[in-house]
Chains A and B, each alone.
Chain A
Amino acid sequence: MISQANAEALHRCIKCGLCLAACPVYKHLLEETAAPRGKVQLLKALESEGLTSSRYLEEIASRCLLCHSCAAVCPSGMETGHLIAALRAELVRSFGLEWKKGLAFRYLLSPGGHFGLALQAAQILRSLLPSQIKVAGSRLSDLPSIPLRSLHDRLPERMRPTRVKATVAFFPGCLIDNVYQEIGRAALSVLQAVGVEVIIPKDLACCGTPLVVSGEQEILAQNLKQNLRLLSAQKVDFILTACASCGRTLKKEYPYLLREWGEDDSLAVEMGEKVQDISEFLSNQEELQGLLGPVPISLTYHDPCHLAKGQGVRVEPRRLLRSIPDLAFVEMAEADACCGGGGSFQFYFPETSEKIVSAKVENIFKTKSEVVATGCPACRLRLESFLGTDHSGIRVRHTVELLASSIKTGDKTR
């Protein structure tokens, strides 16, 4: 049974169909079962016992990127993503979690899990495999190489600039901690430059996004509570992240999930108010402008779903990028269209996912930019592997990496 609150929410759907226009999956499959409205109606039928759990329903429920594009256009203000996650959780209760996922979550993503270690092992293994092998449509050679030690392991827990005007906690997230460490390093260097002290608390767990979208709730509860305890204990002005999905989950999912479980959400609400995406925080740091040196490149920006639709952060990254001297900013068509990654979606539905990313890549090409900036390491992974296969030479970078380069050239010219 889903919660009372979600059961009530189901009845707010007026079946207008506007979510179909926003759904990247519906756009390619053109079937109501692929659409958010269809899934809401199916959950409603399941609740009223007009329908029973089935493997087919499980497949339908998994045909969603949880990009939250539907929620962003819903006239009734429904959090359709919550309902689809609730449907998945319901199906996990009926059928259990797929064994591969169950195993992976327990050993890799739980508190103290070995996500980093597993990736490092994969990196060693990969050097033994031919580079033409494909994973979810990406050639092995187009996937990023993995550092052999995590970022938080390499850094001190507390980093103080000479003049401190604010203190923040930085939540690196699994991908930045273990794969794209350069994003984390860039974020730290920019924060240092504007006089912000940074703490990376030890023992942070995965934020839980992969668990939320899979309908797994047991390990999710452990991760949530551990992170909430560690982050709430910090005496900081803000909690920052450079990962769109981590940011959305910390801000919006934690309080929602606690309410769903009938638990007190006050601590999570309080913590959520402190969470900001790095671009939100930096766009309010006035002294940043004076530090920026020229970066003479042409650049376009891809809105990560979990940043634009999930957190409403659209203006800030653009403002930051446009403030870099000599940088030619070109807006692409449908900049907020999904990259088609959607966590395990790309593995389960490679064909649909590839169609979605191909449309995105085409819009990037049309801008004739040298760099595409974005605010999410998962989007970067997806875009990099597909831009890579075309050998277009377009690089994918996080907004904060460009700011770090700009500060570096600024330093030289001063």
Chain B
Amino acid sequence: MLNPEALRRLKEIIGEERVKAAPEDLVAYSYDGYLRESLPGAVVFPQSTEEVSAIMKLCAGERIPVTPRGAGTNLSGGSIPVPEGIVLCLTRMNRILEIDERNRLAVAEAGVINGDLQKAVEAKNLFYPPDPSSQYISTLGGNVSENAGGLKCVKYGTTRDYLLALEVVLPSGAVIRTGSRTAKNVTGYDMTRLLCGSEGTLGIITKITVRLLPKPEMKRALQAIFPDLGEAGETVARILGAGITPSIMEVMDQAISGAVEDFTHIGLPKDAEAVMLIEVDGEKETVERQISQIAQLCAKGGATEVKVARSDEENEAIWLARRSVFGALARLSPTTFSEDTTVPVSELPTMLRKFPQIAEKYKVRIAVVAHAGDGNIHPCLSFDERDQEEKARVELAAREIVAESLALGGTLSGEHGIGISKARFLPMEFDPATLQIMREIKRSFDPLGILSPNSFVSQKLKG
């Protein structure tokens, strides 16, 4: 519970209408896209950097924990609040402030929805590549805080690669500005990159300047069926080795493609170990040359069937399969938890072959979908949360997945973040000295420890 005096002062700062503390409001802000839930003491909706700053000053003075939140699509639980704190919701700071065609950049407030920015810049023939699955609802502030990825990272990288500058409110209420509007900048520490992916632990991002690209002339998709999952993984490495960089390279295993087929009836085989989906974008001649090169490499790699889209409609038909993955999985089991492990691309075939072994060892179901081009794998563990014994086996399997990918030079999380969901695995990846310097960075930004109480550096709530 928030003390009534603090509530009164919050209302003084931003007005009664934008401070919510009825039980109904608290329930509606007790979750994000992760499994756990916890009620906040109040929810506030600031509309300007000044308001965010004033709120933070009050909270610093009163030692009130603050959980920043956008649309609440976080998959790692970092936006779940605590009862003695507030949720600071940025969805109403949603203005696109500027699209600068000459410098190819855009400036937007933190609450702007990713898809809205994409649409606005595309109207000017520009392109903002980061495209997490939540793109039509997740906010840029959330994308930056989690360093969101998406399908196109093999060619275009993640949110981090498009950041030029940030405006950030520190836990003290002080407002800082990082980066600049320039393409090059080596002045001081690279604070922009430090804040990107910091999961709301260091400051509240209020304004974001992103770099844009010219919109690609065209794109073409290809679907290849592989009898062997490892072979599909090898083919990914071979395509990249041939000097081609597709914009998307996705692999779905038999469990996933089978579930997708049951759900969509689009004609995917149910006996093949892997379905690979690839897209190339760029100038027409290059796209056409590369897509036929890829088709040949797939055939050489053992693909039994290769289908190349001939039109935009056929492109769409191919992507329908990938877009249906989430839906198909959700229907398989009461609880599906998607891991986010990432390995160097060359180790992808090795890692892909581990999953059936781990599934067998712990008697759990693991379905695999991978952003194969960048080595980011989502092994989906499905279980019934109410079954404690099964849950324990899933935990052991998850731990082994982490251990195996770390042994291959990989990392815990490629794009979903650590939050409370994977915090317990951090010591497996970092030595004590590395963890210590992270805690010290946190302390220098947030000496009172009031920001993002449920995060990878401090968890009130266990994952």
Contact = CB atoms under 8 A, between A and B. Distances in A.
Interface of B: 20, 22-25, 27-34, 45, 71-73, 89, 91-92, 94, 111, 113, 115, 134, 136-138, 326-327, 329-331, 334-336
Contacts of B329: 75
A17 interface: yes
Given A41-B28, A45-B27, A77-B331, A30 B94 contact: yes
Most buried by A among B24, B34, B71, B113: B24
B191 to A, nearest CB: 29
Contact of A14 (B20, B45, B115, B336): B336
A42 B334 contact: no
**Interface secondary structure of A, over-half rule:** loop
Nearest to B331: A77
A12 B330 contact: yes
A36 B146 CA distance: 24
Given A12-B330, A14-B330, A76-B331, A51 B23 contact: yes
Given A14-B336, A32-B72, A38 B331 contact: no
Interchain residue pairs A-B with the least CB separation, the first 5: A75-B327, A21-B137, A21-B136, A32-B28, A76-B330
Given A31-B45, A31-B91, A17 B27 contact: no
A16 B326 contact: yes
A54 to B, nearest CB: 7
A149 interface: no
A18 B137 contact: yes
B326 A51 contact: no
Nearest to B25: A33
Contact of A60 (B24, B30, B45): B24
Interface string A74-105: 11110000000000000000000000000000
A30 B335 CA distance: 28
Nearest to A39: B28
A57 interface: yes
Given A30-B91, A45-B27, A75-B330, 13 more contacts: A12-B330, A14-B335, A14-B336, A15-B32, A17-B33, A18-B137, A30-B111, A32-B28, A32-B72, A41-B31, A51-B27, A56-B24, A76-B327
A11 interface: yes
Size bracket, chain A contacts: 20 to 34
B25 A17 contact: no
Contacts of B45: 30-31
Contacts of A18: 134, 136-137, 326
Contact of A77 (B20, B89, B327, B334): B327
Contacts of A56: 22, 24
A75 B27 contact: no
Given A30-B91, A30-B94, A76-B330, A16 B23 contact: no
Contacts of A16: 33, 73, 134, 326
